Amino acid sequence: MRVLSAATLLTAAVVLTACTAAASPTASSSSDASHGLTTVTAGKLTIATGQPAYSPWVIDDKPQSGEGFEAAVAYAVATKLGFAKKDVVWTRTTFDSAIAPGPKDFDLNIQQFTITDKRKQAVDFSSPYYTTAQAIVTTKSSPAASITTLAGLRSVKIGVATGTTTYTLLQKVVGGSNIQVFNSNDDAVLALKSGQVDAIATDLPTAFYLADAEVKNGVVSGQFSDSSGGDQFGFVLPKGSPNTAKVSAAVDAITKDGELAAITKKWLSTTVNVPDFN
């Protein structure tokens, strides 16, 4: 009876182990030996972005085209990771859900995520692929619209939000009594609309938004080459992703070989006609 009981218990243990293994939640990712990554879908790299994704980050809300700064960066990184363009799969997420704790249905997410210590508690970040520049927003009819030099900016009234990196930079490279300080970007925008100032200064991503959505006949007339103190953008990955180091290495590679600089110049300067003030 003891022998039979032992055998029965052994059989039960094997069955229980098998059932437990089958019932355990498995990650939706799968190992992809050909690329050395663990991805949502074997042989594919799933990249998420916003819905919609705006120009100049993604042109015409079509990241699969590779047109736009972040779409181009995504494909450049995918290539460094060993993925052909046809093996990149795009999906969409909201900004907040992407940086919230919990499982993800993407391998990478790119939609102007500023790297912060607080966010690092919930997700991983790659090396930065962009440091925000500061820029000038004005209207097509403003005297500020045609100014191309730092010296020229001293001849117009510029609004800026207090306590921002933009304000610090503006004081450094422009200075002068023509700078008017406001409590927020919203207040500065109102001052521009009312004619109290000729232009406003803010970070480049915000400048694109304001010129497109908030300021009638708005234009981003130029950007500052000095990006010291600017926020850094990185790819978001699931917390503890085994791919984070490899993605960072890919970002570092396109930075080192000059490809990232060429992409930045094309999509955040030349294409959108936002030259550097000199």
Name the helix (H) or strand (E) containing 222: strand 218-223
Rg, C-alpha atoms of the chain: 25
List beta partners, residue 161.
182
pLDDT at site 35: 76
Per-residue pLDDT, 234: 98
From first to last of the 278 residues of the chain, give the pLDDT tens digit. 333 343 433 344 433 333 333 332 234 566 555 578 999 999 999 999 999 998 899 999 999 999 999 999 999 999 999 999 999 999 999 999 999 999 999 999 999 999 999 999 999 999 999 999 999 999 999 999 999 999 999 999 999 999 888 999 999 999 889 999 999 999 999 999 999 999 999 999 999 999 988 999 999 999 999 888 889 999 999 999 999 999 999 999 999 999 999 999 999 999 898 999 99
Residue 230: per-residue pLDDT: 87
Would the pTM count as exceeding 0.75?
yes
User: For residue 95, what pLDDT is reported?
Assistant: 94
Give the model's pLDDT for residue 28: 52
Long-range Cβ pairs for the range 93-101 (8 Å, 24+): 93/48, 93/49, 93/50, 93/51, 94/50, 94/51, 95/50, 98/48, 98/123, 98/236, 99/123, 99/236, 101/239
Give the domains, in start order, of the chain with CATH numbers: 34-132+231-270 (3.40.190.10), 134-223 (3.40.190.10)
Q: What is the DSSP letter of 51?
A: S
